[in-house]
């Protein structure tokens, strides 16, 4: 079988909705700065926001997954990646999450130590449609089934964290950071 490679740069492109969210965030920071932080505070906030957004885009575009005879190699944008041999991979499935009025599906693998890893570059969503997603998932699963014994394949039990999506975690983190910044501004005023 042929080695499979899924690269972030082939799948992910910034969308207008993402740029609009960034613009709204910068405007909100501008209002916060006008009421307490001043020009210097706004420059720090805006610079930090743009730097983190740029870093996130850079890492996403550089991420990739490779499926081959030695196992599955995952790289999240830094270094050469980490290879998980077939004998350590216990299960492979698709996680589908309903979010923001649409669905998002990503292939993930479960490792012998109980951890799970999503395969970067192998995703289907309304924002990043992938017409061949099901076919690619079946190709990855075929590699796994041909490379492992049936007795080594163990479906994991569902946990609470399976219900918490990355989007929900990001929204909660953003709310906590915004509340912290608002509290800082309020407490700083005389």
- Mean predicted confidence (pLDDT) in 147-173: 76
Distance CA(170)–CA(183), nearest Å, equals: 20
Name which of 48, 78, 51, 58 is nearest 14 in CA terms.
58
Looking at 71-85, 90-104, 170-184, which range is the least confident one? 90-104
Pairing, β 89-99 against β 102-111: antiparallel
pLDDT at 85 over 90: yes
pLDDT at 166 over 70: no
- Mean predicted confidence (pLDDT) in 18-44: 74
DSSP conformational letter for 158: P
Maximum Cα–Cα distance for the chain, whole Å? 69
pLDDT at 168 over 80: no
| 104-145 pLDDT, tens digit each | 888 999 998 888 898 988 888 877 778 888 999 999 999 999
pLDDT of residue 171: 80
Which tokens hold the place of 155?
A: 């479906």
pLDDT at 190 over 80: no
In whole angstroms, how large is the CA radius of gyration of the chain?
Answer: 20
């Amino acid at each position: 079988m042929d080695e499979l490679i899924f690269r972030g740069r082939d799948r992910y492109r910034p969308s207008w909705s993402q740029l609009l969210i960034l613009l709204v965030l910068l405007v909100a920071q501008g209002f916060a700065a006008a009421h307490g932080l001043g020009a210097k505070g706004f420059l720090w906030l805006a610079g930090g926001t743009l730097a983190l957004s740029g870093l996130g885009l850079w890492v996403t575009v550089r991420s990739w997954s490779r499926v081959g005879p030695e196992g599955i190699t995952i790289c999240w944008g830094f270094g050469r990646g980490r290879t998980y041999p077939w004998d350590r991979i216990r299960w492979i499935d698709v996680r589908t999450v309903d979010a923001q009025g649409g669905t998002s599906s990503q292939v993930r693998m479960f490792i012998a130590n109980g951890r799970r890893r999503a395969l970067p570059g192998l995703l289907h969503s309304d924002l990043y449609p992938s017409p061949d997603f099901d076919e690619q998932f079946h190709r990855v699963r075929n590699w796994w089934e041909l490379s492992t014994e049936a007795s080594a394949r163990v479906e994991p039990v569902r946990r609470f964290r399976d219900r918490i999506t990355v989007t929900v975690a990001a929204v909660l983190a953003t709310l906590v950071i915004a509340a912290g910044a608002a509290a800082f501004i309020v407490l700083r005023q005389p």
